[in-house]
Amino acid sequence: MAIIVNVDVMLARRKMSSGELAEKVGISPANLSILKTGKAKAVRFTTLSALCKALDCQPGDLLEYQPDDGT
Amino acid sequence: MAIIVNVDVMLARRKMSSGELAEKVGISPANLSILKTGKAKAVRFTTLSALCKALDCQPGDLLEYQPDDGT
DNA sequence: AAATAATTATTGTTTTTCAATAATTTCTTT
DNA sequence: AAAGAAATTATTGAAAAACAATAATTATTT
């Protein structure tokens, strides 16, 4: 899986709980969890925006590309 | 629209055409265009990965959060 | 151990990607 | 300016996936 979603890092930095973030972002805790744990296969930009806003950060702080290997 | 997709910058930097990128990424030029011109409402991680791979960059190079205002 | 928070699982609805194609517009080159 | 190529827009349809809602399970904390 090449795209890593790093919400936990930001959550820790902001000392915010998952539940609080879910509320601020306006998605269910269940769905936020899917995102957080790398089970999502896509993101809506509305959601990404809301995450960036709530966590006061940039997409680059949340998303990371990890090449599968040296290809 | 809060999330800006910056593919053109990377394309210029890599001296690559849209068509070539579409081919490398494995999506149609039409759909790449939608992404590039900010008309997409979401991205699949497979597509984002492929973009990062083809352009040798990170999601943060392609996606930018722009707050609507001072909120 | 009890309570709280987070994750997983499931089902159904809605949204959106993406392909394929064609038409239009923009850009480039002669 | 004309011609050609490249990119964008538009449309339709199908497959994929977000997300809600709920419930159950698992972690975490007190």
Reported pTM: 0.91
Q: At B35, list the tokens.
A: 């992404």
Residue A64 lies in a domain: no
Per-residue pLDDT, B61: 96
Report the alpha-carbon distance of residue B35 to residue B33 in Å, rounded. 5
State the residue range of the domain holding A9: 3-59
Q: How far apart are CA A58 and CA A35, in angstroms?
A: 16
B67, part of any domain: no
Cβ within 7 Å of strand D: which of B 10-49? 17-19, 29-30, 32-34, 36-37, 39, 42, 44, 46
Residue B68 has a pLDDT of: 79
Query: What pLDDT score was predicted for residue A68?
Result: 78
Domain count along chain A: 1
Confidence of residue B71 (pLDDT cuts 50, 70, 90): very low
Q: Is residue B66 part of a domain?
A: no
- Look at strands A3-5 and A63-65 and give their pairing: antiparallel
Q: Do A58 and B59 touch (CB under 8 A)?
A: no
Q: Give me the percent of chain A exceeding a pLDDT of 70.
A: 94
Evaluate if residue B59 carries a pLDDT over 80. yes
> Which secondary structure element, helix H or strand E, spans residue B31, and what is its range?
helix B29-36
| Spatial distance from the CA of A52 to the C1' of C8 (Å) | 25
**What's the mean pLDDT in B54-65?**
96
Burial class (CB in 10 A: 0-12, 13-18, 19+), A14: middle
Within a domain: residue A24? Answer: yes
